[in-house]
Structure 1
């Protein structure tokens, strides 16, 4: 039921565009999660193989979907350095599916049939064509990024944001999925935004995503403005002039990062300012200065939303543990999807811890009981994730979200960073309508 527009549809749009155009807490106390992920015992039992499938190379571009994998690998490395989990090392087996359905099917069979992995974790596939096979084989897929609808379709698949859908082989409820309007409610109530614009390409995937945004904005009472641009010859200067003339408060988009950079440069040249330019979790990363070069005004109005704690919030012990482990691996950048991949690996490790001993291996059935038994929050890194199915979707739901804003002055250096906005994500909640959409 947590099909968040900012997370699911934003990532789905990025995938579709580039292919076309090129609830209570965890089972363990928080103290078990906020430090270094160690067991404190020498690993002696047989290793447990876990698979990570990533579209590391794809039409989207190098590294676009690799962040969840990198976060999961960082967690597994730190866990093994401390003795593994319940006496077992986790042995990660990775596969790059190249962003294609054919490649994804090959990776699924390589990991499930040849490597015989116990589970998949932190999957981030542009085209998760192998999902039905994973489900038929009964392989738990834990903490995957829902780029498509697979995590709202198949049993044994557990997305990082949870699901209330029946997951009986059909997406959502009879092919219809639902998303809340909490993102739009936040900006309406906290920033007093009233006039919203949506910029999109004259391309089917972009237009569909824009329509979803516009419907959500209208449901929250915004005055809406739609701005279509030609993908081949986009006239962003004309869009910027119209945004200024119509006094837009807040800007959403249904475009790729390159288009957003061009739009922001056009806005900068035209002297256009907005209260907020809202992007999705996929773009919540330290690469903002490069992505929005020469557009400081637009860059510092950039906001992002998700269901996980801000990776730049170093006041939180669990975030500090994540960043310490990532720093040891010397990544080229930091990203929110890395933190979500770390949380996915933690989720699997906690499930194994509940189901294994140094002399016994875990069972898949036990791990799935752990995953579905109580809402999970990865020691406070995630909003509580649950999988209690609902026969029919509710008309409204209480939904929470994590919100951050980019600042060039954040972080105490010249690189900038993301500042947490609003209340703590556990209290940043709204009762909002759930709007239907089809994949």
Structure 2
């Protein structure tokens, strides 16, 4: 497998594990400034005729499915939707794409499989969408219907395994799986890589870690995957389980203090994380790093961890996308300007997931732009399936969808990382990058098989 290809999977949780975790569950550049034309394709003149479903002479209809009113709460999965909406609003203000404006239709599936199928049918059968983009759903039960109608689904979050099965679905992180519709991954097997654990071992010299989970099947299953990855990298692992209804985090804090655990990984929701951090602060436990992921790389840590400032300043996040605080990068500056202009009320929820929603919309736009005025789903598919990795104008570690043989040995994988620091950004606090994005934290690491 090529070195650039495998870099695309960095920082990604195994899909089933991400679902299990979810089930448990800043100043911008001037708002009035014009955004870079290169981010939105070509304005051009409008074609005379419709060219495919959802495409008219003046408009392209695109759908976004999100689990908003779900058991995990309205904000847990909202980020990608708002990032994509901000992109298309900015694009419309810049003249659209070859004279066409993108009309976005959103659908809340309520976090259920039935609701997701209803959204897929409504967007395809009634709204006649050309494509889907930036999806973030708990149960992608509508995936077979989307794929059967050859609707491109670009830049979705791989919370479930659908993006590693269906050929017309393209996750934000790419995929090396066959994606032939017959089975997930390689005959029902997926692989997790260990670059996150390698990073903290080599960068911070860590050799011990605690893994905390609920006494609930999905949480425990993900915790076992964390422990397997850590042990593969040579860590000493302290495993701790708490009751889902009445978690005894004080006992966990005492055990971690006695063990001298350097890192903390968890298979819990955000509420459990906040409560655990309070217990750690109260017990005087200081970590080398409390490791979280792209879902929690967010401004909300200011309030989520208000009662545990020491633990908050131990937070590190890893991902396959650029730090949303890095406004020195033009694509991030464009994202921040658009969010400030169109969704100023979301300043306190700004997140890496919103940036990835923006990157998803950019990916779909570049695919559509490659078609010129003769926009078709088949043309978008050719762009998405090309062998050249895509980086969303510097926002993503390069990703593609070239099928590869089943992993059989160590493979190069890269990641991005940031740390929360209360003293950063002139004292307002924020996420400080720890990697010279995108390629300085790259490692040849094992691929560990698992069945989702």
TM tier, smaller? over 0.9
TM-score (norm 1): 0.93
- Report the number of matched residues: 422
Deviation larger for 419-428 or 121-130: 419-428
**Cα distance, 1:46 vs structure 2:** 2.1
CA 1:223–1:101: 2 relative to 1, 3 Å: same
Q: Indicate the residue corresponding to 1:196 in structure 2.
A: 209
Q: Indicate the residue corresponding to 2:312 in structure 1.
A: 299
- Secondary structure at the aligned position of 1:378 is classed as coil
CA distance in 2, matches of 1:67, 1:331: 13
Q: Indicate the residue corresponding to 2:280 in structure 1.
A: 267
**Cα distance, 1:426 vs structure 2:** 2.2
**Cα distance, 1:411 vs structure 2:** 2.4
Q: Trace 1:31-430 onto structure 2 (pairs within 5 A).
A: 37=40, 39=42, 45-169=57-181, 170-329=183-342, 330-332=344-346, 333-357=349-373, 360=374, 362-373=375-386, 374-414=388-428, 416-430=429-443
CA distance in 2, matches of 1:52, 1:344: 11
CA offset digits 1:81-116 (Å, max 9, x no partner): 101112211111110111111110000000011111
CA distance in 1, matches of 2:220, 2:227: 10
- Secondary structure at the aligned position of 1:425 is classed as coil
**Cα distance, 1:241 vs structure 2:** 0.8
Contact 1:86 1:352 in 2 (8 A): no
**Cα distance, 1:57 vs structure 2:** 1.1
Gaps of 5+ in 1: 19-31
Contact 1:54 1:125 in 2 (8 A): yes
CA offset digits 1:274-307 (Å, max 9, x no partner): 0000011111100001111210110000011110
**Cα distance, 1:39 vs structure 2:** 3.9
CA distance in 2, matches of 1:168, 1:177: 14
CA offset digits 1:222-266 (Å, max 9, x no partner): 111101111111111111011111111111011110011110000
Q: Identify the match of residue 19 of structure 2 among 12, 15, 40.
A: 12
CA distance in 2, matches of 1:62, 1:278: 24
Gaps of 5+ in 2: 1-5, 26-34, 48-56
Contact 1:198 1:214 in 2 (8 A): yes
TM-score (norm 2): 0.90
CA distance in 1, matches of 2:448, 2:66: 30
**Cα distance, 1:10 vs structure 2:** 5.5
Q: Indicate the residue corresponding to 2:50 in structure 1.
A: none
- Secondary structure at the aligned position of 1:294 is classed as coil
- Secondary structure at the aligned position of 1:266 is classed as helix
**Cα distance, 1:3 vs structure 2:** 7.6
CA offset digits 1:348-403 (Å, max 9, x no partner): 1111111032xx3x111110110111211000000111101123224221111111
**Cα distance, 1:38 vs structure 2:** 6.5
Contact 1:314 1:320 in 2 (8 A): yes
Contact 1:51 1:117 in 2 (8 A): yes
CA 1:3–1:394: 2 relative to 1, 3 Å: farther
